[in-house]
Structure 1
């Protein structure tokens, strides 16, 4: 019942209205105000005003008896949900026309921070859901599990999607490339051992939609950070980051991973720039966030 009440609140009912409506639906018979208050927890001083609002919204109806008593009957849930759907769609269609008219042109492309995993992933969902031409993602299984349904819908509506995924996926979607070279976070264990942080995850998330907006986030143990921007330069760099990573995976597949490992092992510069790719440790360190190792084993910040 509490979940239904919360969902109705999200669709515009007050808490009292939602509780009263759910009580009427669950009763299976008309109820008077006293009975609604007793069963729903709505205060008796508020129950008649609450029922009056439901009647005004046509979410409930009054049944007047011969002795002028009043009982209340709910609008059937199927009818209520269909009405809400129509009203929601009408509002969206209206806002699609009117809202852009009042939007002022930004004086600058700002970058704003996102705090916590929920805020970060919710904003990532927005970027994926709003994409209409292309999507670029650099992502780990933990985050892909949540974003995968929306990425699948983007593919269905014709969005060109490129996903570099750190590890295998149960159900790959879009233009999927498994990141296998170099081994994801190849030096993470060494870094964690030096910093006394063994067992912590270090992951980087990049989501770019329509080459117009981008989100970059990092996960390091219990630390989560993220930024979102429509700055064209940052968006272009994020797209290029994903494109070049995909190109590296294709090259490694073409010439063989063992050959690539031998090449990198014999070239210190290649090894320096490829180890730890996709990890959030360097960006965490640069942002001054806790939980990031100070350096790589050779003393350089990745």
Structure 2
């Protein structure tokens, strides 16, 4: 019960209002005394609380045998009205904040750290929705699964290209990285990159690794990482076309190059 009361309060109701409404949902049409007894709202405050809920349209009042009876707005109607109010508020705030943002002086290119799984995923989805013509990605399996639906939607209006790791049946135009010892044993060194329209990108550790993630609109970062993805795609295509087994040579050269 405590959880539902807290969630109702998060919709803009105070503690007594939440308790009174839930009590009415449980009781049905009731007197103020019954609501007070069921909800725990003090009798000295219950009439004030119920009148406030009545003004909000959440509670209905009628006189029955010269006594006031209170009824709750049906749950489905209550939830629909809250949803509509939230959507109207969201639209209004979105428009006003965008207007403020558009007035901001043009900033120099930047790199910003982003933290928190939900924040990172929300940032990725918003960035993808901003794409107008081109999306380039490099992504491992778990992060791909979280964003596959969003990528699929954007593929209808944008060119989607890039490379994925340990993913089966990816979306068209995404290259599957070949199986190598490096890929199989990479451990916690995985990454993801999403670049849109060659203008801005988000990159870093996948959310399951709880590491660092960064957003940038710096053209140097964008160009370097897009070319990194293209190089990875090209090598994998060349390996598919080659009749020779070049993987042992590539692995050896990689070890020599990165040997400290």
- TM-score under structure 1 length normalisation: 0.66
Contact 1:135–1:162 (CA under 8 A) maintained in structure 2: yes
Q: Distance in 2 between matches of 1:122 and 1:176?
A: 22
2:244 paired with 1:264 = no
Cα distance, 1:43–1:68 mapped onto 2, change above 3 Å: closer
- Give 1:182-201 correspondences, 5 Å limit: 182-185=180-183, 188=186, 201=188
Cα distance, 1:90–1:20 mapped onto 2, change above 3 Å: same
2:232 paired with 1:245 = yes
CA RMSD of superposed structures (Å): 3.7
Cα distance, 1:64–1:88 mapped onto 2, change above 3 Å: same
Gaps of 5+ in 2: none
Contact 1:23–1:36 (CA under 8 A) maintained in structure 2: yes
Q: Distance in 1 between matches of 2:72 and 2:215?
A: 48
Contact 1:112–1:229 (CA under 8 A) maintained in structure 2: yes
1:48-82 per-position Cα deviation (integer Å, ceiling 9, x unaligned): 555444433323322333324241321441x3444
- Give 1:1-302 correspondences, 5 Å limit: 12-14=11-13, 16=15, 17-18=17-18, 20-25=20-25, 27=26, 29-40=28-39, 48-77=47-76, 79-95=77-93, 97-103=95-101, 104-156=104-156, 158-169=157-168, 172-173=170-171, 175-180=173-178, 182-185=180-183, 188=186, 201-218=188-205, 224-255=211-242, 259-264=245-250, 268=253, 298-299=259-260
Q: Distance in 1 between matches of 2:208 and 2:98?
A: 40
Cα distance, 1:245–1:98 mapped onto 2, change above 3 Å: same
Count of residues in Structure 1 that have an aligned counterpart in Structure 2: 257
Where 2:114 maps in the other structure, the secondary structure is strand
Deviates more, 1:89-98 or 1:143-152: 89-98
Deviates more, 1:93-102 or 1:132-141: 93-102
Cα distance, 1:97–1:219 mapped onto 2, change above 3 Å: closer
Q: Distance in 2 between matches of 1:45 and 1:247?
A: 76
Alpha-carbon deviation of 1:204?
A: 0.9
Alpha-carbon deviation of 1:249?
A: 2.3
Gaps of 5+ in 1: 189-199, 274-295
